[in-house]
Structure 1
């Protein structure tokens, strides 16, 4: 069994277990998702819409309200889908991998995906799949985290040990290269920087656990983190403290792509 398959199962299980606590801890996720929705064209009225990586269905329901259409929620984590289904019975919920979408060719007008595609092991394949599933004139709107995200936590851990404790995300240059090769006739990418502040490091780590964003990279440590290492981590993170508290930086790429007419 490949490492990629193992990681996908780990990701799905991690987010599935966090379904009941996700919405209470996901204020940042809701902010960047709303910012992505605001970037959609005002006069664009899609009939067939997919929320890819729908999680608990928060944006699935907002998309239904905005467009007056039934939105299909797709997610890798079946635990998230079960939770979403209990919140609304007016939407289709489907377990799906973004790199192998269960969608017919040219069947969708809009694919919306907020903070989900960074968990793909092959972003180019996921972009190819969305292009395939969109009708000519259709849009893909997605956002993803970039490499500077959580750099304070990553840097603090490097003073403690040599393991990989923080998820790695791609650079803006790598993302732009993928966008250029994805086959869309138009794309636009803007980067937002969000700096969240916490009173204690445990507030940040508790939030990451509540949303299911566990470390899934190769090189992660096995077993539990000992008290001595946690004390060392806490001391190292204190070097970043400002008057507002302990910062956690997120760089978010907000991307809109449009599929052109078939030649």
Structure 2
């Protein structure tokens, strides 16, 4: 704990919340990948019981909160740690939807109160994923489902490799190895689970297009060990040269490894 009684983990969460709050106004303009992988998760969802309770964890701008409400014809609760995202979502959504500031690792929901939990590209920002999974298990009713996707190791590998040719700082967000994720899923206590990995490769004409997109999404580097201050021109030239080595016919590649996960709480589990 620091002098003010705040852990480094809490500081990281504040940085995450602030980064995504700042990105609220630009997120939807550049979220093509996010739409694609979220729609793929939506297509995997089981049909929840009639009159069920649904929640979208890490709802962001509310795109999938609204999609869930439309698909299942019932209200959905949108939860996010970033107040700026919630304000943006509230202003652009029907009054039938509710929005609550919440941490996925400490959900403000009653135990056994939800039938379906949905979370698209949010849980990779949780410092303690096992705690987020434990919270999901707690708030789900017996027979309920938690559906989420998350980025795993190998994501933005081209950018990471290019930076390694320039300096030793952490410039790219670290993501969990798939084997570690699978182990956590197996230990989370659910009756059954399924995990499938999708590989998405986007292409950019210039490196600046990728870096500007990451900033607009609020997903630029949030890890400890990142360099402070502005990145010098010489290092940017070095990064550009290192990334250009990887150029393909379609442009500069940026790979995203996305784990699509379904977790099912047993009917006899409380």
TM-score bin (small chain): over 0.9
In structure 2, C-alpha distance between the alignment counterparts of 1:37 and 1:93, rounded to whole Å? 20
TM-score, normalised via structure 1 length: 0.98
Match of 1:36 in 2: 41
Gaps of 5+ in 1: none
Match of 1:207 in 2: 213
- Give 1:223 shift: 0.7
Which of 192, 198, 204 pairs up with 1:192? 198
Farther-moved stretch of structure 1 (54-63 vs 44-53): 44-53
Farther-moved stretch of structure 1 (42-51 vs 95-104): 42-51
- Give 1:61 shift: 0.2
TM-score, normalised via structure 2 length: 0.96
In structure 1, C-alpha distance between the alignment counterparts of 2:165 and 2:100, rounded to whole Å? 42
In structure 1, C-alpha distance between the alignment counterparts of 2:212 and 2:71, rounded to whole Å? 33
Which of 250, 253, 258 pairs up with 2:259? 253
Match of 1:109 in 2: 115
Match of 1:262 in 2: 269
In structure 1, C-alpha distance between the alignment counterparts of 2:28 and 2:256, rounded to whole Å? 19
- Give 1:203 shift: 0.5
Gaps of 5+ in 2: 1-5
- Give 1:262 shift: 2.4
In structure 2, C-alpha distance between the alignment counterparts of 1:21 and 1:45, rounded to whole Å? 36
Alpha-carbon RMSD: 1.0
Match of 1:95 in 2: 101
Work out the number of aligned pairs and report it: 263
Match of 2:150 in 1: 144
In structure 2, C-alpha distance between the alignment counterparts of 1:61 and 1:46, rounded to whole Å? 17
Farther-moved stretch of structure 1 (85-94 vs 165-174): 85-94
1:52–1:111 Cα contact (<8 Å) kept: yes
